Chains A and B, each alone.
Chain A
Amino acid sequence: MAKRSFKNTVLPTILTYIGLAIGLVFAAFPIVWMFFSSLKSNTEIFALPPTLLPKTFTIAAYLTIFNDPVKVRFFINSYFVASVVTFLTVVIAILTAYAFSRYSFRFKNTLNVFIISTQTVPPITLLIPYFGMVVAFRIFDTYLALVMTYMVFTLPYAVLLMTGYFNTLPKELDEAVMVDGGSSWTALWRVIVPVSVPGIVATAVYTFLLAWNEFLFALTLTKSMDLRTVPIGIQLLMGQHAFEWNEMMAMSVLGSLPLLVLYLVAQRYFLAGMTAGSVKS
């Protein structure tokens, strides 16, 4: 009897813990290694035998970044572009999602398929005409070029997430406002939006993440150092001083920080957003 219970309860539990531990090393080790490397001196990074913790902690790499206006500018650019993209995307997505959720109209299905398929259009296909367009409109190497083009891939997600969220709200909520003589516009902003804060947070966090991580358009549609974003900044750093590993790691830590903070603060919303596309729709 004792043997049986060992086989059925204790052993699976031990195996589960072993599995979880292997998973933890797989998932987190590279990130932990990056973090501690940013606190090592450049000579210590490839020291033999390698140690996880630095023998001498140094924040020199971070200070170098903070004291370099060019690198600080990368961060300002990323924060600015990602924030503007997030704001515009969320506002436009709220309008579109409201129509999808509350009205039936001609072309609704066409538009819906259009939006879903936009998710899967290869960025490289759009990049070449964007380059042509951006040059023709004389907005090459401007924030506008980045903000506009980013929206082609942030908007579809935002619309799908917000539509899913609005669909969970009872129609009586906004109909009550309209029965009292209010317009649907009033109902949307005064009633629907205030109760949709969790959905809006999920959408905003997800949009920010997409915009913050964008690489291909930022690489191609900007040229001057004043407009480069963090991912491009890291790439340039890598090209210029290929051996400043601690500085590149510090830059990576700083470049991941906003997403880590957003994730930890808004984790619940974030996961809801991430699964919405695959599970609920």
Chain B
Amino acid sequence: MIGYAPALTTAQTRTHKKGWLSYNTLRKLVPYFYVSPATFLLVLLMLFPMLMVLRYSLMDGAIMKKDAAFAGLQNYITIFADPVFWQSVGQTLYFTVMSVVFHFIIGLAFALLLNTTRVDPVIRSILRVLYILPWLFTAVIIAIIWRLLLDPNGVVNSVLSALHVIDFKVEWFSSTSTAIHALTFANIWAGYPLYMVSLLAGLQGIPKELYEAASIDGANEFDMFWHITIPQLMPIIVSIALLDFIWTMQVFPLVWMTTGGGPIYSTEMLSTFTYKLAFARYEFSLASASAIIILIISMSVTYFYIKHQQRR
């Protein structure tokens, strides 16, 4: 990379001497030069595709038909009339809210445990490494780990029946009553480390003086937790929870690899619903309308996220 530097310096000097652009104008262009590759890529890969998907969603037979006609809002009407869509909305909401809540609870609990001075620092740092592990695994791998563990003949059922919690082999992922909970549990397992790491960093940033002052005033640990720790962590909690909400809402591979949306739509999420419309039924126009609906939901949460980030 360093090799490029002299060449460009000469080129810049030459242009400057020719007086093609004044030195000051050139200087003003420098930042645009630096941001141009990223801007080009993001326009090509984000702005342009979003306009395309919006256009597809207003057409009849996008991608599949050469002369796809304008269809107005017909695709949206069809989507809103589909009961499976509404079922997916409800299930996505359940999956997302449960995931966000438990990610937060587990993440905070682990962060507090790792932040305590009651435990040997070496043990703490080893555990800190181990507690993050679930976060490093690909959704596909998480899916098959849990399919192995939650197999009717798997270890979870063995342990539960040994403890007499269950008296028959539960088919966690293939029964309509348990599949969504099993799926949500796998996602909770996979996602808490982001909260844990962020909250731990946040905990370490809280000034010690706040606790000292409170303890002089006679506050107990519980008071300190409610009146110092939680308010101090609030900005981080809000950021992470908003991001997590957006991301969890869009989760695809975990669902695809554990249940594929089944049995009988019982774990269908907005993402799998949309994917199947496009790549199983080749209804690209309907899928685009559904994708736009997901985008609108996600952008409205993003709006709060950006507002929150800018306030900080």
Contacts from A to B (Cβ < 8 Å): 9, 12-13, 16-17, 19-20, 23-24, 26-28, 30-31, 33-34, 37, 45-46, 48-50, 91-93, 95-96, 98-100, 102-103, 105, 108, 111, 113-133, 135, 148-149, 151-152, 155-156, 159, 182-186, 189-190, 193, 209, 212-213, 215-216, 220, 230-231, 234-235, 238, 245, 248-249, 252, 255-256, 259-260, 263-264, 267, 271, 274-275, 277-279, 281
Contacts and interface: CB of A to CB of B under 8 A. Distances in A.
Candidate in A111, A122, A230 with the most chain B CB atoms within 10 angstroms: A122
B101 interface: no
Interface in B22-48: 28, 30-32, 34-35, 37-39, 41-42, 45-46, 48
Ordered nearest first, which 8 A-B pairs have the shortest CB separation? A129-B49, A99-B34, A129-B52, A103-B31, A215-B253, A152-B45, A96-B38, A105-B31
Majority secondary structure, B binding face: helix
A83 B131 CA distance: 27
A123 B37 contact: no
B190 to A, nearest CB: 10
Contacts of B104: none
B292 A125 contact: yes
A19 B109 contact: yes
Contacts of A156: 42
Given A128-B56, A216-B253, A249-B148, A24 B198 contact: no
A264 B253 CA distance: 26
Contact of A30 (B114, B145, B275): B145
Given A124-B274, A263-B132, 18 more contacts: A33-B145, A49-B158, A92-B37, A105-B32, A113-B306, A115-B38, A124-B294, A127-B275, A128-B63, A129-B56, A130-B49, A135-B63, A151-B45, A183-B12, A235-B257, A238-B257, A255-B141, A278-B236
Majority secondary structure, A binding face: helix
A149 B275 CA distance: 17
Candidate in A19, A26, A130, A278 with the most chain B CB atoms within 10 angstroms: A278
Interface string B266-302: 0000010011001100001001100110110011011
Contacts of B236: 278-279
B134 A185 contact: no
Contact of A28 (B52, B133, B291, B306): B133
Given A92-B37, A185-B5, A234-B144, A216 B138 contact: no
A123 B189 contact: no
A215 B143 CA distance: 12
A277 B154 CA distance: 38
A234 B42 CA distance: 30
A126 B288 CA distance: 9
Interface string B251-275: 0110011000000000000010011
Contact of A34 (B32, B118, B148, B256): B148
Nearest to B13: A183
B178 interface: no
A128 B292 CA distance: 11
Given A105-B32, A111-B35, A231-B138, A20 B113 contact: yes
B20 interface: no
B168 interface: no
Given A12-B118, A131-B278, A274-B194, A252 B141 contact: yes
13 contacts: A23-B109, A23-B127, A27-B133, A96-B38, A122-B250, A130-B45, A130-B49, A183-B8, A186-B9, A248-B144, A255-B138, A271-B201, A278-B239
B291 A189 contact: no
Chain B, interface residues (CB within 8 Å), range: 35 or more
A120 B42 contact: no
A189 B45 contact: no
A17 to B, nearest CB: 7
B210 interface: no
Interface string B53-76: 100100000110000000000000
Contact of A92 (B38, B134, B194, B302): B38
B138 A212 contact: yes
Contacts of B252: 123-124, 215-216
A234 B140 contact: yes
A33 B63 contact: no
A119 B256 CA distance: 22
Nearest to A119: B243
Given A16-B113, A31-B137, A128-B288, A121 B50 contact: yes
B146 A23 contact: no
Contacts of A108: 31
A62 to B, nearest CB: 16
